[in-house]
Structure 1
Amino acid sequence: MTEREPKAGRTKLWRIRPHAGSAEPPGFVRKDPRVPVTTRSSQPPTPQDPEDDTPTPRTPSADASTAEPATADEATEPSAPTAPDETVGSARAAQAVPRGLRARIAYWRGWRGRYPRVARVVWWTATVVSLVLVFGALSLPNRLFALHPSRFVRLPGEAIIGAALLLALPRRPRVALAALAGAALGALTILNVLDMQFVEYLGRDFDLVLDWTLLDDAQSYVADSMGGAVALAASIGLLLLIVLILAGMALATVRLSRLLVRDTRRATRGTLIAGTVWITCSVLGVQYAELPVASDQVVNTLASEARRVRATLQDEAAFGKVARSDTFGATPPAQLVPDLRGKDVIFTFIESYGRSAIEDPGIAPGVVETLDTSTAALAQAGFSAKSGWLTSATYGGSSWLGHSTTLSGLWVDTQQRYRTVMASDHLSLTKAFQKTGAWDTVGVMPGVQKGWPEQRFYGLDKVYNAFQMGYQGPKFSWSTMPDQYALEAFQRLEHGRTDRDKPLMSEIILTSSHQPWAPIPKMVGWDELGDGSVFEDIQAAGEKASDVISDSDRSKKAYGESVQYSVTALTQWLERYGTDDTVLVFLGDHQPISRVSGNEASRDVPISIVAKDPKVLDKIAAWNWTDGLKPAHDAPVWKMSSFRDRFLKAYGSTPHPSTG
């Protein structure tokens, strides 16, 4: 069949049946190349990706086998098939994909044509979600208390610069840059969330160099507090969330980059206008809700992180030199603490015992009453006490930093410093007693559940961990045993022994006041302790950790009660087993988390020295500490790192510096 020449004055487009054996598919329309054709559209197009060349299936209005003239609209594209198996994809796909699979792919890719309303909803939803994710990440603060809607009513300068770069790039580099920028925004979001949690629990930002090892400690804490299943589920959920954030942010930026280039002229004009507005607001200092409208938060965050990383790396080398220098490093054994010879000296840390326990109106009444009652009971037993304040090197957690700062005389506020100190020969306060050869030294560590190489640095001849004190009762959340039992075990295993020929120097860590403060043990008769099974009913009747840890008011109440319990257990032990030669030094290692102590809380912790021998307290009279177990509000406040040297000097030690 051949084409007929159209009559003059007419323009027709004929639908031609293909010859037998033709490679053209059924329904193919060949248009007369001599006839200009203009396209019309009776309906607005369904929104779709401008770079997606997937054809939208159309419903034919007539049988494709007829040879009637085709309109110009029909001539612009092939008629859509009437069944899935007849659907034709793009020419490129037709060459690469087998016929059956090609039809199914084309069918599903054409869902937007079959469901235009759903397609519009999906398109707008994906677009809005992408905008929220990207602009939210650009404006997200790294503090929980700063999370407020006004933080997100800002113009991020980074978005304007990013739009300009994307508009200037061809397709492939543009997509690659958008995906990379999205992944970077996802990583920044994760870092901001880590900062929020570290400030909440430890009072400081996350350290990109040092703090990764603490994530393992966090997992162990959750397992000890709420069970291994909860810890495993939380770990898996966290990993999935991280992957979702990174992938979701990358997809969001790629989508926005595609929308940006749909109309480059308008996008360029909008970018220039946004840049002009940003510069104007920045120069004029325009603010909304006391925040600058022109935001450069991402740049500031990255600069801050870079400074922190650089400072961390520099500090490692500088602190190593400090740790090798020691005021008492070369002091002969005979000149160390001569004024305490013959005394049983006990250094005790009460977990999370901070200034808030004594001065926060929501916590203090019960704790102060306990301190006053204990002071009176100790006085009746012949003991006197003096108390002051120390500023801890840590906050909310990482108790080992507070312990090492107190006993080393060095400011140990990072994990790197801690590792440096533990590997050094710096003289710890407890090791000074071992160095004299005049004391047996022992550690009681109910919170230690694995190997503890720090024993060497602290100069402890023997250490009792959670499994070596004979406890058969229940755990109280993170705490492996009640403080009362740990103190009774110390008495049974070491302090009460009559076969020793030396006095005893002990380091004891009391853990019942450790977060999450639920369930809390209660005091029982000292003669009823046995193997600890007496605590079964008390533990079962207590509150669940998961119910308390998420509620600020309940956490504050439970925290106060836990401190009362720990102080009561310690002072009752001293009343019951203390002698004329007993010297007790007890203090807190850090403040509780900000949910309990507040965002503006200090890092101060109370410290007390208790003894029967009046000469012991006379040695520290110049310190001007407060009489009793409760330090006055205006009592002296020292850095925790200064305590070692002050204590050694007060009790007769002679400085002999060493430089390593």
Structure 2
Amino acid sequence: MSPTAVRVLSRTLTVLSAVLVLAALLLPNTVGAVRAGTFVRIPVEAVVGAALLLALPRRPRVVVAALGGLALAALTVLNLLDMGFHEYLGRGFNLVLDWELLDDAQSYAGDTMGRAGAFGLTAGAVVLVLLLGALLALAAVRLGEVLARHRTVAVRSTLAAAVVWTTTAALGVQVAGVPVAADHASAAVRTQTERVRATLRDEAAFAREAKADAFGATPPGQLVPDLRGKDVIFTFIESYGRSAIEDPAIRPGVHRTLERETRALEKAGFRAKSGWLTSATYGGSSWLGHSTFLSGLWIDNQQRYRTVTSGDHLSLTKAFRKTGAWRTVGVMPGVQKAWPEAEFYGLDKVYDAFRLGYRGPKFSWSTMPDQYALEAFQRLEHGKEGDKPLMAEVILTSSHQPWAPIPELVGWDELGDGRIFEEIEERGADPADVVASPARSKEEYGKSVEYSVTSLAQWLRRYGGEDTVLVFLGDHQPIARVSGEGASRDVPVTIVAKDPEVLGRIDGWGWSDGLEPARDAPVWKMDAFRDRFLTAYGSTPSRKKG
């Protein structure tokens, strides 16, 4: 290779090294903040790093540069994780709590893309992390050596950069609305550090909070006396959020469905009241919403979830078992492994994905269509004669992302073991096509909510009676790609019954008539529901102290 070619290659590698390091220093932690102006700034960390490397002898300089490059790689990975978590869960990545959610993400990818696709995605992520570490370490070492070889120019340039940074920071100079002076990497480290500290503080405080319970010492005979003799069914509809009802691109179909099913239920003798709850989670981690609603505690992270479900706090569903007046069951088609939380929820029997008799195809993540799950619930429990009424927790999963393919309603008498859905699944949309398009994701999400609500309302009309009380709600909003940046965390909640006394007990709540809550209907935090419900139906508070 000629000397000229060597010089060109050397300079190209140096420029690429500088670009890589600067990009890592300036990379934001949200997708929306990634724009060209973000990367045309002066990072203070680069100025300080250059000064440090210029002050060190060669061997320590190489070690410090390599370690600095690895640190930058780690920060880049954290920023990328933050991007993903903001996009799907509406929050940043928690270094203490969220590693186990990566396993759930892999499982979701497997259900959506197949095993080969999930393996490829995982392998690609591992390779990316290793490659980032190697490239940034080598880039930092190379830049350190370049600084040392051109010490005089490097010192002057570093001093000039420091002056410019200080001046532009003091004056608040901006270009295209972006500050010229940046300390993004340092701020990101501070944010992660504070997030860890807050998590550790919260862990101890919440453990004390979970031990106290306004109804923890209430005698069995004084829990929900006004619902004795009723079949009470708590149903969660996956990702059924406020956006389904209010987003202009989604609302028309969902609104028509809610209006149609309200009229059909009224014709069958049922009445409904609806309001809003603010979920403890967003975009995913449905179990946090379920546990918040049923425990009366704000459970917005995995540590809180583990703390409360491993304790003896009184969940709303367990209150029914405690009375001894109900048999209690759970219908959990999304559960595909051991689920020890059944004891916390007070469920005598749990029907998971393998105990509902389904032999049809999966619909992406969802193991079975909601219509089938509800019919299986009817066959296995709700339709049985017993010496006690039934309390059930039912989780409907057909509206789980990626919303493709979506089941279609079939005749209830034709469901059989679910194989009737094979042709429906085969002609359904490809998940990859839906995920790639925000507009298509919104469209299919709306259709999935329509399907789930219709399935539930048809089941109630078909099998509900004078003593049936249905409480159904969304567990969280859909991901930001569908609900939009900055969307609320509100979800609809509805109580349906034939007995006018049941809805009469909640007249003071100010909820809207029908299945669709009004835009100005009351909004409560989700953890407020348990105590309001228990109180409305005659329960006597008796505090258990922490």
* Structure 2 length-normalised TM: 0.99
Match of 2:283 among 362, 383, 396: 396
Higher relative contact order (CA 8 A, sep 6+): 2
SS, match of residue 406 in structure 2:
coil
What are structure 1's unaligned runs of at least 5 residues?
A: 1-113
Aligned residue identity for 1:360: D
Could you tell me which residue of structure 1 aligns to residue 227 of structure 2? 340
Could you tell me which residue of structure 2 aligns to residue 463 of structure 1? 350
SS, match of residue 491 in structure 2:
strand
Could you tell me which residue of structure 1 aligns to residue 381 of structure 2? 494
Asked if 1:241 corresponds to 2:140, the answer is no
Could you tell me which residue of structure 2 aligns to residue 212 of structure 1? 99
Give the deviation of 1:501 after TM superposition: 0.5
Asked if 1:430 corresponds to 2:317, the answer is yes
Asked if 1:616 corresponds to 2:502, the answer is yes
Give the deviation of 1:575 after TM superposition: 0.4
Asked if 1:377 corresponds to 2:264, the answer is yes
Distance in 2 of aligned mates of 1:263 and 1:485: 73
Could you tell me which residue of structure 2 aligns to residue 322 of structure 1? 209
Could you tell me which residue of structure 2 aligns to residue 31 of structure 1? none
Cα RMSD after superposing both structures: 0.8
Could you tell me which residue of structure 2 aligns to residue 588 of structure 1? 474
Q: Provide Cα deviations, 1:515-570, integer angstroms capped at 9, x if missing partner.
A: 00000000000000001010000000001111111210110000000000000000
Could you tell me which residue of structure 1 aligns to residue 33 of structure 2? 146
SS, match of residue 454 in structure 1:
helix
Give the deviation of 1:613 after TM superposition: 0.2
Distance in 2 of aligned mates of 1:263 and 1:236: 40
Asked if 1:409 corresponds to 2:296, the answer is yes
Asked if 1:449 corresponds to 2:336, the answer is yes
Distance in 2 of aligned mates of 1:647 and 1:577: 24
Could you tell me which residue of structure 1 aligns to residue 179 of structure 2? 292
Could you tell me which residue of structure 2 aligns to residue 632 of structure 1? 518
- Higher Rg: 1
Could you tell me which residue of structure 2 aligns to residue 159 of structure 1? 46
Could you tell me which residue of structure 2 aligns to residue 600 of structure 1? 486
Distance in 2 of aligned mates of 1:122 and 1:540: 53
Asked if 1:182 corresponds to 2:61, the answer is no
Q: Provide Cα deviations, 1:198-250, integer angstroms capped at 9, x if missing partner.
A: 00000000001100010011111111222111111111111011000111111
Distance in 1 of aligned mates of 2:157 and 2:362: 62
Distance in 2 of aligned mates of 1:490 and 1:119: 73
SS, match of residue 227 in structure 1:
helix
Q: Provide Cα deviations, 1:484-514, integer angstroms capped at 9, x if missing partner.
A: 000000000000012x100000000000000
Could you tell me which residue of structure 1 aligns to residue 83 of structure 2? 196
Q: Which runs of 4+ in 1 moved over 4 A?
A: none
Q: Provide Cα deviations, 1:599-630, integer angstroms capped at 9, x if missing partner.
A: 02100000000000000000000001000000
Match of 1:550 among 405, 428, 436: 436
Give the deviation of 1:119 after TM superposition: 2.1
Say which is worse superposed, 623-632 or 121-130, in terms of deviation.
121-130
Give the deviation of 1:307 after TM superposition: 0.9
Distance in 2 of aligned mates of 1:240 and 1:388: 47
Asked if 1:524 corresponds to 2:410, the answer is yes
Match of 2:422 among 536, 553, 557: 536
Say which is worse superposed, 342-351 or 125-134, in terms of deviation.
125-134
Could you tell me which residue of structure 2 aligns to residue 232 of structure 1? 119
Asked if 1:120 corresponds to 2:7, the answer is yes
Distance in 2 of aligned mates of 1:529 and 1:126: 64
Distance in 1 of aligned mates of 2:330 and 2:5: 69
Match of 1:222 among 109, 113, 130: 109
Distance in 2 of aligned mates of 1:122 and 1:239: 29
Give the deviation of 1:260 after TM superposition: 0.7
Give the deviation of 1:291 after TM superposition: 2.2
SS, match of residue 131 in structure 1:
helix
Distance in 2 of aligned mates of 1:530 and 1:323: 44
Distance in 2 of aligned mates of 1:573 and 1:452: 26
Distance in 2 of aligned mates of 1:285 and 1:133: 26
- How many residues end up aligned between the 2 structures? 546
Distance in 2 of aligned mates of 1:644 and 1:313: 27
Aligned residue identity for 2:438: S
Aligned residue identity for 2:513: D
* Structure 1 length-normalised TM: 0.82
Aligned residue identity for 1:292: P
Q: Equivalent pairs: percent with the same residue?
A: 68
Distance in 2 of aligned mates of 1:491 and 1:290: 59
Distance in 2 of aligned mates of 1:403 and 1:183: 40
Give the deviation of 1:283 after TM superposition: 1.3
Distance in 1 of aligned mates of 2:164 and 2:490: 47
Say which is worse superposed, 216-225 or 449-458, in terms of deviation.
216-225
Say which is worse superposed, 268-277 or 628-637, in terms of deviation.
268-277
Could you tell me which residue of structure 1 aligns to residue 157 of structure 2? 270
Could you tell me which residue of structure 2 aligns to residue 70 of structure 1? none
Give the deviation of 1:117 after TM superposition: 4.2
Alignment of 1:570-581 (within 5 A): 570-581=456-467
Distance in 2 of aligned mates of 1:473 and 1:512: 14
